[in-house]
Structure 1
């Protein structure tokens, strides 16, 4: 069921498709960094400490009395690494990719803003994979509360509550894909709200990219690769994805030193997510960097608690709200705004 609040989630402008996001040389350097510095953890392991935190981000709910485990959540074999954080490029050989004049110009025009600051620079990497979970929203940030000082589940809960728009940062992304496989591998999104028809960006995906505001648009990755290979056996929250030492273009999923799956280069899907914060003008920029109108986690939690009390939600006020799984579960249910249900069917390989 889609909550009325979910209809607020529409990007500031329609997604804009571009080609040749990175040059052949840039793509080769990006891929070399990934091969040389892996293996890489699951997205879930990178972003969440408990299954309850996952539910809080995907507009789910936890049945009363149920203790969640990672097995209940279902682990999707999609892995992540960071190439830059907080304005700092982590690999000097990629500085032209991160401090990218073309991308900065694209997001400034997309937002009609004067200033842009490179912020997020990460990648997702995977072999054959089921659809990327329920349509979701990316973690936004607020003046005073960012990925550096706030858990992702809290940032997403704040966004879904629509209580904190006064402090919400303007963000824009250029998200690029490289996938040569024959089955699926595209991107579904709902730029006109979760009740509207989805936009599908379908393969071929070699260097195709979208300029977008993913924090305000439901989206997910399409299923990728041969159906029979989409769920590697033995996957664990500790599983990793890295270069196959026996194949110069191949990859492998590994758990506790055991190889779960070999992934040929042809079946590897590589997503590069570049993001920036935008500032309308100098006054907006100063408000952020002079911290004249920040919000703190303490204030945010207090506002969420007050809102739930007004709505008649039954719960006990926690002593340590940022680390209380029961409270995280309460928030997940209170701000379960639902999401799109008109999900396009998976691409199926002919051999399935």
Structure 2
């Protein structure tokens, strides 16, 4: 099946982000943060998703990167936990919210879709922090290939290549932000593709939801928190976030406390994703697996494309983990934002 033709940049959302203010009720907010506090510790976002710098660069929008850069060079105190996955609610208190029309219907509306279901729900929470994120987009979904069975780096390459659009499963996000400060901390996004100028949503965020098509849009968290507290030199890939009482958050590496911050100095979000379908035939094709990709098919397509481009390379025995092959695909399908807002520049790791 040939990929769908696109007249616009492959990473352009179906619609610009839409702000939905005061999204959760006070009771829902209390339940969400209660689950996060009660079930700590939580791992860093990077620790969840990447095994090497090559995998990170496949997702990150960084144009210029040091050949000696390692994954640890981009560590920031941004922690993540999953609240629900693939229709399974991991914390019973969130059952009704995860399956609510309140979350699903905005995504259906954005895509003008008839059917859909809850996919993932997670949170991010960070203390005072610089932002090394040069811009990224969320994992897409294809029939047979998704975040359930595939690494993020591969899904990033698939999306950028445009070679797999015929198998794409449409998705959308409702992301609700909490950052009660006007000291930086905004949300930068590129609604017309990464080659065009960015837009911003400016903090403070007080239960501020954003309806977005993040798997088709570069975006980034801006630096946040008191500026004199944003560097944590002792932070490592094994650092964990824990709660202390009703207000404090603590970052530990093993038994060593390396940072402590009040909730008012944190920036957090609750991230919901739904998969949506235009008609019943689209739903059936997805559920019955009648037109799924396999990993063999994915790598056959990517390798055939490299050869058609005249790229010289050695075919890897294990393309899923071969770091040189991952780096090659990243370079061939490279794309990244060209500019950043003057008031939200990109932080660069110390040499």
Structure 2 length-normalised TM = 0.92
Q: How many residues align?
A: 340
Could you say which residue in structure 2 is the equivalent of 1:70? Answer: 71
- 1: CA distance, partners of 2:167 / 2:92: 32
Could you say which residue in structure 2 is the equivalent of 1:250? Answer: 248
Could you say which residue in structure 2 is the equivalent of 1:350? Answer: none
| Alpha-carbon distance, 1:161 to partner | 0.7
Could you say which residue in structure 1 is the equivalent of 2:281? Answer: 283
- 2: CA distance, partners of 1:131 / 1:290: 42
The alpha-carbon distance between structure 1 residues 179 and 59, as it changes in their structure 2 partners (threshold 3 A), is closer
- 2: CA distance, partners of 1:129 / 1:293: 44
CA contact (8 A) 1:5 1:161 kept: no
- 2: CA distance, partners of 1:5 / 1:56: 24
Q: 1:338 aligns with which of 336, 339, 347?
A: 336
Matches within 5 A, 1:59-208: 59-60=61-62, 66=67, 68-71=69-72, 73-131=73-131, 133-208=133-208
- 2: CA distance, partners of 1:132 / 1:28: 30
- 2: CA distance, partners of 1:132 / 1:81: 20
The alpha-carbon distance between structure 1 residues 239 and 226, as it changes in their structure 2 partners (threshold 3 A), is same
Could you say which residue in structure 2 is the equivalent of 1:237? Answer: 237
- 1: CA distance, partners of 2:61 / 2:224: 24
- 1: CA distance, partners of 2:310 / 2:213: 33
Residue aligned with 1:97, SS: helix
Deviant stretches of 4+, over 3 Å: 59-64
- 2: CA distance, partners of 1:344 / 1:292: 48
Residue aligned with 2:120, SS: strand
The alpha-carbon distance between structure 1 residues 68 and 186, as it changes in their structure 2 partners (threshold 3 A), is closer
| Alpha-carbon distance, 1:81 to partner | 0.4
CA contact (8 A) 1:198 1:342 kept: yes
- 1: CA distance, partners of 2:247 / 2:237: 25
Could you say which residue in structure 2 is the equivalent of 1:49? Answer: 51
Structure 1 length-normalised TM = 0.92
CA contact (8 A) 2:56 2:71 kept: no
- 2: CA distance, partners of 1:182 / 1:338: 27
- 2: CA distance, partners of 1:70 / 1:302: 28
CA contact (8 A) 1:77 1:231 kept: no
Pairing 1:13–2:15 present: yes
Is there any run of 5+ residues in structure 2 with no aligned partner, and where?
A: 1-5, 346-351
